[in-house]
Each structure stands twice: as structure tokens, then as C-alpha cells.
Amino acid sequence: MVLWAEKEEILGLFKETPLFSGLTIETQKIFANTAVTCSIPKGQVIYMEENHADFFYIIKKGWVKLFRETFDGTEAVIDILSSSHIFGEFSIFDNGIYSSSAQAVEDSILISLPTSILKEQIEKDPKLAFNMFAVMSRYQRQQDKKIEHLTLQTTSQRIGCFLLRLCPQNQKTDIVIQLPYDKILLASRLGMKPESFSRSLNILRDKTGIRISGARVEIDSISQLTDFSCKGCSSSYPCEDI
């Protein structure tokens, strides 16, 4: 159980989460009443692949890496998620186990919710069931888009596309963003070697005029970045599948 002040904040976060879109306030409160706020330090593993899935999570603040390990110990980064993203919810369709591992890649605040409540409410509320299928469909489109980017985009365009994901969609000029994690991890997420990432980042800077200082990225005009990055993609900015 959470305090009412926290519950109000959680209900506000639900408005930014597609899974809870359009649900009655009564249904949302059922979830909010079971929610627990967790502070997760950078580097902490949240759960491991094939663990029993008792909870799913919403990111209130920070970044979380989803990954799998191969037989030889190599780590394959599936995705890296930011604020308002949800993860672990698909476990209810995977025999109640997690299909990947999750780790905080910077200090994060998560909202933890029981998967048992999710299963129970899906059976009771057709709108929630529809939302769940919509989320799954969106995830599949995202995976298709990643394959498209790996096939058609240059490495510089892939980095530009990632930066566009971090840009406020209502701001077109004078944008300042922070890269949320180290460049080695970012390179892995975008399907390239760290040395290729550095070279490609320099090309992106030359082509678009962005300025990079450490983790800080300054973008004078979003149109310069989209003109370069979106040429190798079937979608246009802002992308609905972000």
C-alpha cells in the first residue's frame, strides 16, 4: 500500500503509460493501491531472465537496460528504456517468467506492480486487454523498425535517430539533452562497435551541426537532425513507434 500523496503521483504517471490509457479511475486505483516505489542504484540488476515474474515495472525516473546473455557469456542488449516506459508486463504470456534480464544503467526510480493484479484485471476489463494487445503490437513495430534501421540506415543516422527519441517533440530549436549512459552501452544498443560509434558520432556532428561535450548534446535545429537521420527510414519525425 502507498500513501495517498504517492498514489496521486502514480495515477498521474499512468496517464503517460499506454497500458493504462482510457481505463476507469476505479481500475487505475486498483493498480495504484498495490504499487510500490523503488529506488534502484546504477548497476543493480532488477531481475534475471527466466526468474519467476511476480512484478512488472514503470520507469518514473532513470534508464533501464533489457538484455540477454549468450552461452559464451556475451551480453546482447535488447533495449534501453527511459521515463514512463513499462517493462516486464509480457511475462504474463511467457509462462510467468521473464524473457530477458533488466538492470538499471543509471540511478532510477521504478513503480513496481504485481503481475497477478494485471492478469486479474485483464480478465475483468476488456479495455485493459485491448491496451495490452496494442502495447504488444507497438513493441513488434519497434522491433521491425530496428531491423529496418540496421538494414537501411548508416551508423551516423542510427545515432541521430536515437537522439531524436530524447528530444521534446514540442521543441524545435535550442534543444539540450543528456546522453543517459556510457557510449559503449549506447553503441551496443545501436548495433555497432565502440570505435565505429565514435567515428559515426563525429560524422553526425559534421553533417547536422550538433555540439557534443561529454554526455551533453546541443541541437540548434531539429530539422537539420531529421533531414539527415530520417532519410534512411520509412517513418518521419515524430515517430509514433518511439
Phi-psi domain of 55 (left: phi exceeds 0; alpha: psi -120 through 50; beta: other): beta
pLDDT at site 211: 92
Over residues 165-192, the pLDDT tens digits come to 888 777 888 889 877 667 788 888 888 8
Cell of 129: 486487454
pLDDT at 221 over 60: yes
- pLDDT band for 241, please (50, 70, 90 cuts): low
3-state DSSP call for residue 179? coil
Position with higher pLDDT, 172 vs 205: 205
Over residues 13-39, the pLDDT tens digits come to 898 899 998 999 999 999 999 999 999
Q: What single-letter amino acid sits at 113?
A: L
Judge if pTM exceeds 0.95: no
pLDDT at site 188: 85
- pLDDT band for 1, please (50, 70, 90 cuts): very low
Over residues 34-86, the pLDDT tens digits come to 999 999 999 999 999 999 999 999 999 989 999 998 777 778 888 888 888 99
Domains and CATH numbers, the chain: 4-127 (2.60.120.10), 150-232 (1.10.10.10)
- Mean pLDDT, range 5-15, rounded to an integer: 82
Over residues 131-156, the pLDDT tens digits come to 999 998 888 887 788 887 778 889 99
pLDDT at site 38: 92
113 DSSP β-pair partners: 56
Please state the length of the chain.
Answer: 242
Best CA proximity match to 157, nearest among 226, 82, 222, 84 = 226
